[in-house]
Amino acid sequence: MQTILITGGAGFIGSHLTRLFVTKYPEYKIINLDALTYAGNLANLADIEDKPNYYFVKGNITDMPLLQNIFEEHRVTGVLHCAAESHVDRSITDPLAFVKTNVVGTATLLQVAKQSWNNDFDNKIFYHISTDEVYGSLGGEGFFYETTAYDPRSPYSASKASSDHFVRAFYHTYGLPVKISNCSNNYGPYHFPEKLIPLSINNILHNKPLPIYGKGENIRDWLFVEDHVKAIDIIFHKGKIGETYNIGGHNEWTNIDLIKELCRQMDLKLGRPHGTSAQLITFVKDRAGHDLRYAIDATKLKNELGWEPSLQFEEGLSKTIDWYLNNKEWLNNVVSGHYAAYYDEQYHKR
């Protein structure tokens, strides 16, 4: 009997991961610990909340007594650590929030796992879900490998790099059985509309400008979120202890080309004349320290564990748009409340 603690399970990737584990492994007990920040939303899990192997705990990963209770009461054997502050723009405005959750929160979780497992590490796993942004920024050529030196350049990526270092330090110093994966940009259903793709879908629906930072020449490597969580499942069960695995889509797009493709598909789906949505594209002031290019080499994961992305980007984007068009209530709920104030603050000066 495995008891797996998923942190941040009410967020974007965490909710897909929780759904996959709850439904694929009914014999596992899955505990979702989430603080329900602006990014956490229990509606993301409405379809599985009544499953008998699913438990939700509202709480913060920096709360050591709470973590100790959870480990003690539920006899946690595995951790899938997803909880984080995840948006680069917010890290520029409020870096310390990222230190608290991403660095202190991860270190607290590691310490509780170490104490609770008390050197009995058989059949235990502490898996940290991390990002390719720890490797820094690429020029026009090359890829990020598992061996690429860390070079984080935003407060977000610096906090994630720091948390990766703590995870490895607990492995080397105490023998804690850890795994890390560093993934490229995800997209798909339940993505909070502060990030480029869902923000643009929402703006197209409301005929609002599509803010493109700088000249739109920055490049990201996009992966459908369900492919990401399938990779996590494989690494969790078959990956080697102490190892790092890169996960990526081999799918590089400049931001401007991506948004043009999104506009083309949205026009078709909304029955608007071709070119209507693209007229909303607006070039705005660049993000401070904007990383030029991310590109993952995921050969190790393919060769060792046989994982490859299953979806072509155009198809994944189409599925994503359809999901937002069919879930307008979800979208309208998440853009009500604090979202308008956030949006004004981020974009009014640009």
Contact residues for ligand NAD, defined by CB under 6 A: 7-8, 10-14, 34-37, 39-40, 60-62, 82-86, 101, 105, 129, 131, 160, 183, 185-186, 192
What is the spatial distance between Cα 277 and Cα 72, in angstroms, rounded to a whole number? 53
**Taking a C-beta distance cutoff of 8 angstroms, is the pair 294, 144 a contact?**
yes
How many CB atoms within 10 Å of residue 195?
A: 17
User: What residue ranges in the chain does DSSP mark as E strands?
Assistant: 3-7, 29-34, 54-58, 78-81, 125-131, 178-183, 185-187, 210-213, 219-224, 244-247, 252-254, 281-284
Min separation Cβ 213 and ligand DAU, Å? 4
What is the distance of C-alpha 224 from the center of its chain?
11
Is residue 87 a contact residue for ligand DAU (CB under 6 A)? yes
With respect to ligand DAU, which residue has the nearer C-beta, 77 or 131? 131
For residue 24, give the H/E element and its range. Answer: helix 12-24
Residue choice 16, 19, 29, 220 for contact with ligand DAU (CB under 6 A): 220
**Taking a C-beta distance cutoff of 8 angstroms, is the pair 144, 135 a contact?**
yes
Q: Which of ligand DAU, ligand NAD, none has residue 287 at its interface (CB below 5 to 8 Å by kind)?
A: ligand DAU
Q: Which of ligand DAU, ligand NAD, none has residue 192 at its interface (CB below 5 to 8 Å by kind)?
A: ligand NAD
The greatest distance separating any two alpha carbons of the chain, rounded to the nearest whole angstrom, comes to 64
Closest-by-Cβ residue to ligand NAD is 11
Min separation Cβ 146 and ligand NAD, Å? 15
Min separation Cβ 283 and ligand DAU, Å? 9
- Positions annotated as catalytic residues are 132-133, 156
Is residue 165 a contact residue for ligand DAU (CB under 6 A)? no
Tokens representing 316? 């994944």
Is residue 133 a contact residue for ligand DAU (CB under 6 A)? yes
With respect to ligand NAD, which residue has the nearer C-beta, 183 or 219? 183
3-state secondary structure of 218: coil
For residue 317, give the H/E element and its range. Answer: helix 313-326
Mark residues 244-273: x for contact with ligand DAU by CB under 6 A, - for none.
-----------x------------------
Determine phi and psi for 82, rounding to 5 degrees: -110, -25
Q: Which of ligand NAD, ligand DAU, none has residue 8 at its interface (CB below 5 to 8 Å by kind)?
A: ligand NAD
